[in-house]
Amino acid sequence: AILNRAVAAEKAKLSSSNNMDNLQQLLSEIFEAAIKSAFPDLPDPPVVIALSGNNVKFGDYQCNSALPIANILKQSGQKCPPKDIANKIVAHVSPSPMIEKLEVAGAGFINVFLSKTYVTEKLSLILKNGIQPPLCDKQRVLVDFSSPNVAKEMHVGHLRSTIIGDSVSRLLEFLGHHVIRINHVGDWGTQFGMLIAHLQDMFPDYQQKSPPISDLQAFYRESKTRFDEDPEFKKRAYACVVKLQAHEPSYLQAWNLICDVSRKEFQKVYERLGVKITERGESFYQKLMEEIVKELEQKGFLEEDEGRKIMWGEEGVGIPLTIVKSDGGFTYDTSDMAAIKHRLEEDKADWIIYITDAGQGTHFENIWKCAERAGILNRKVHRVDHIGFGVVLGEDKKKLKTRSGDTIRLCDLLDEGLRRALDKLKDKNRHQVLTAEELKKAQESVAYGCIKYADLSHNLNNDYIFSFDKMLEDKGNTAVYLLYAYTRICSIARNANYTPEKVKELINAVSISLDHEKEWKLGKVLLRFPDVLVKITQDLLLHHLCEYLYEVAVSFTEFYDSCYCIEKDSSGDIIKVDDSRILLTEVTAMIMAKCFHLLGLNPVSKM
Ligand code: ARG
């Protein structure tokens, strides 16, 4: 996002603000200014800031602009060694409290060493004020996710969309954006004709009494079989669609009943996973679809094609959208055209994010191109993204199915997660230590946490194998490892006999020291949190946050292994508590808790 003026002004007084600094962004600004004053004739100089990697010799960040600048100069006939360019840039960097020192190394890399005073101060600000998001330009973002289809199955793909969408929404909400979470439910297709016709036969009194359909998918299959095999039924089904779209009351009622059964099923999943979302299905757009068809027709965008009305994103390239079917009905394409218009013009969205399987990528590209042609979408001011994810596979590397080949019901999947999580906790004898209530909390935390984390920690461009065994491993970058690590960190102050009140007192009385190499490393990792969030707003890949969380946990373990927080004598009595380290532990727990929250995981303090 482009930073507006108000934000820039706010940024200027950053050191006094409560918000966390986005270090990479700040360094970019510092170096951009330096490069521009060192090379005023370069119109758009490259500003490249990267993390330095593991060798402390190379500092914390690097500015790698000297080489590309040398290349640009070369092209205009000026020969200047990158090393000289790097030195010139360094000479123009204005002093900043963030930077301890700059060093030019190798072929012209500028190594940036962060200031210990600065890092220490920022950590104590977090302790005092909580984790405040980095400043950014606030936008209205519409996140279209989950979006299952009524009466058809809600499958693991919808689950993945639900989990990713919830996390993306949480992250954007934390950054201060206005997020509109939309469930674009498939609730308006021709399938309703056969469903209604079947309902009329099975439950003729449906207008007086709610039909007891418990298994809507079975109901769907029955009606589909009749539709395929019985021409009379098929005819009636078509007639039902027409009456439904004409909003005849008894047909609307039947439709509502069917949607309600689905809605209750979906809601159960959302509640168990703690996901909030507003339903605005395809049916919502009926009127708007009629309007947009007229609009596109009048503007001359629609072409006749064997009775259909189609629209090209780019004339003759790829496949066109079907805006009106030959029977006059609307399609998935029509509803998305109506939806994008409504979202940009009524919701005033600055940014729309769609989350589905990767297979729908061309569909959305097409929608955007058509919306641009029609003057609805302007990609210079609006941002649109499709988060397309890979397929969820079973351990046999085929599409995840039950043994009998059916789609797995999500409730069953979540139940299995609960069962497996409990087994895991019992393996570790936790049931003997925890109260029944604590055990239940831990069980849910692990079960839902591991399913979500598996979805989020895999690069979403790839397919991934759904395996409870893998998810529940307690080593490596898994939810179980991280949730345990968090619990252990939370127990440190408890083991020192420090109450939460006592820790609060320390915050004002004690300053954090980062003298030990491992303390210093952990402190810097903790301050990278905003960098990670901002990166995700750019590429929308949530596994960065999982990797970061894992890095925090690992850095903490390294710190804890070599730095005593609590010293005990041979009889186990506490002889000394290191207050500064207790505080560092506290900040670590805060950052981890925030990461968990953004990923939709519920850590527990006892497990
Ligand atoms: N219902 C669709 C499906 O199950 C997903 C809808 C995604 N959102 C949209 N605006 N098209 O594949």
Tokens of 327: 């029977």
> d(Cα 227, Cα 60) in Å, to the nearest integer?
66
Length of the chain as a residue count: 607
User: What pLDDT shows up at residue 16?
Assistant: 52
Q: Rounded to 5 degrees, what are φ and ψ at 111?
A: -90, 130
User: Is the sign of the CA dihedral 196, 197, 202, 207 positive or negative?
Assistant: positive
- DSSP-based three-state secondary structure for 262: helix
184 lines ligand 1 (CB under 6 A): yes
CA distances to 410, 423, 431, 540 from 428, rounded to whole Å, are: 27, 9, 8, 36
User: What pLDDT shows up at residue 298?
Assistant: 97
- By most ligand atoms within 8 Å of CB, the mutation choice from 147, 187, 341 for ligand 1 is 147
282 lines ligand 1 (CB under 6 A): no
> d(Cα 480, Cα 472) in Å, to the nearest integer?
6
User: How far apart, in Å, do the first and last CA atoms of the chain sit?
Assistant: 41
Could you list the beta-strand ranges (E) of 262-337.
Answer: 278-279, 303-305, 308-311, 321-324
State how beta strands 178-183 and 140-144 pair: parallel
User: What pLDDT shows up at residue 6?
Assistant: 52
**Which residues, other chains included, contact 12 with Cβ-Cβ below 8 Å and sequence gap of 6+?**
none
Ligand 1 centroid–CA 149 distance in Å is 8
- By most ligand atoms within 8 Å of CB, the mutation choice from 360, 365, 389 for ligand 1 is 360
Contact 221, 407 (CB under 8 A): no
* Nearest-atom index, ligand 1, CA of 355: 7
pLDDT along the chain (607 residues), means of 10: 50 62 94 96 93 88 96 93 96 95 94 97 95 94 96 89 98 98 94 94 89 85 95 95 90 94 93 98 96 97 96 92 93 97 98 97 97 98 97 88 80 95 95 96 97 94 91 94 96 94 94 96 97 97 98 97 94 95 97 98 92
User: What pLDDT shows up at residue 15?
Assistant: 47
Tokens of 225: 């079989």
User: What pLDDT shows up at residue 5?
Assistant: 52
State how beta strands 321-324 and 308-311 pair: antiparallel
144 lines ligand 1 (CB under 6 A): yes
CA distances to 121, 484, 503, 514 from 519, rounded to whole Å, are: 14, 21, 19, 5
User: What pLDDT shows up at residue 2?
Assistant: 45
**Which residues, other chains included, contact 270 with Cβ-Cβ below 8 Å and sequence gap of 6+?**
146, 162, 276, 277
Ligand 1 centroid–CA 446 distance in Å is 29
Q: What is the pTM of this model?
A: 0.93
188 lines ligand 1 (CB under 6 A): no
Look-up: residue for tokens 């894992």? 550
**For residue 352, what are the β-bridge partners?**
142, 384
ipTM computed for the complex? 0.99
313 lines ligand 1 (CB under 6 A): no
- By most ligand atoms within 8 Å of CB, the mutation choice from 278, 337, 356, 377 for ligand 1 is 356
Could you list the beta-strand ranges (E) of 178-307.
Answer: 178-183, 278-279, 303-305
